[in-house]
């Protein structure tokens, strides 16, 4: 063996020379992950999220909770927008504006009567 990388190693002459050294065989086994047999369930990795949005301990993940809150917020905004676009929604908005105007007029009248009297 030489340290020259351009030279090819001569082929092994017998089967004993071709087998890896014992320390190399142990290293290769440590690097290669254990593959479960087909049909057996793969055990979950601790601390890794499940596709359900919960950890193995049953705690909801932050992403799951955030998505749920954002979904509810979007639903409420959409519902409010649709309600305002209907005839009944516009009617209610007009009634509220009229009520607010009358309340302001009444408050001004009360203030004038207290201040001038």
Q: What is the mean pLDDT of each run of 10 residues along the chain (117 residues)?
A: 59 54 56 66 60 86 94 94 82 91 96 80
The pLDDT value recorded for residue 49 is 52
Give the residue extent of every domain in the chain. 54-85, 86-116
- Is residue 90 a contact partner of residue 84, using CB atoms and an 8 Å limit? yes
Task: Give tens-digit pLDDT for 65-97.
Answer: 999 999 999 999 999 888 878 888 788 888 999
The pLDDT value recorded for residue 19 is 54
Return the exposure string of 72-104: e unless at least 16 CB atoms fall within 10 Å of the residue's CB, then b: eeeeeeeeeeeeeeeeeeeeeeeeeeeeeeeee
What are the residue ranges of helices labelled H in the chain? 15-18, 22-31, 62-85, 87-116
**In terms of Cα–Cα distance, which of 46, 69, 68, 67 is closest to 56?**
46
The pLDDT value recorded for residue 117 is 46
């Amino acid at each position: 063996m030489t340290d020259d990388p351009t030279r090819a190693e001569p082929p092994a002459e017998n089967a004993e020379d071709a087998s890896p050294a014992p320390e190399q065989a142990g290293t290769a086994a440590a690097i290669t992950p254990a593959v479960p047999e087909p049909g057996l369930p793969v055990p979950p990795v601790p601390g890794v999220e499940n596709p359900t949005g919960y950890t193995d301990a049953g705690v909801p993940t932050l992403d799951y909770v955030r998505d749920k809150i954002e979904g509810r917020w979007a639903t409420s905004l959409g519902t409010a927008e649709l309600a305002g676009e209907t005839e009944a929604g516009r009617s209610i908005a007009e009634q509220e504006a009229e009520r607010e105007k009358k309340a302001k007029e009444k408050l001004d009248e009360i203030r004038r009567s207290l201040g001038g009297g």
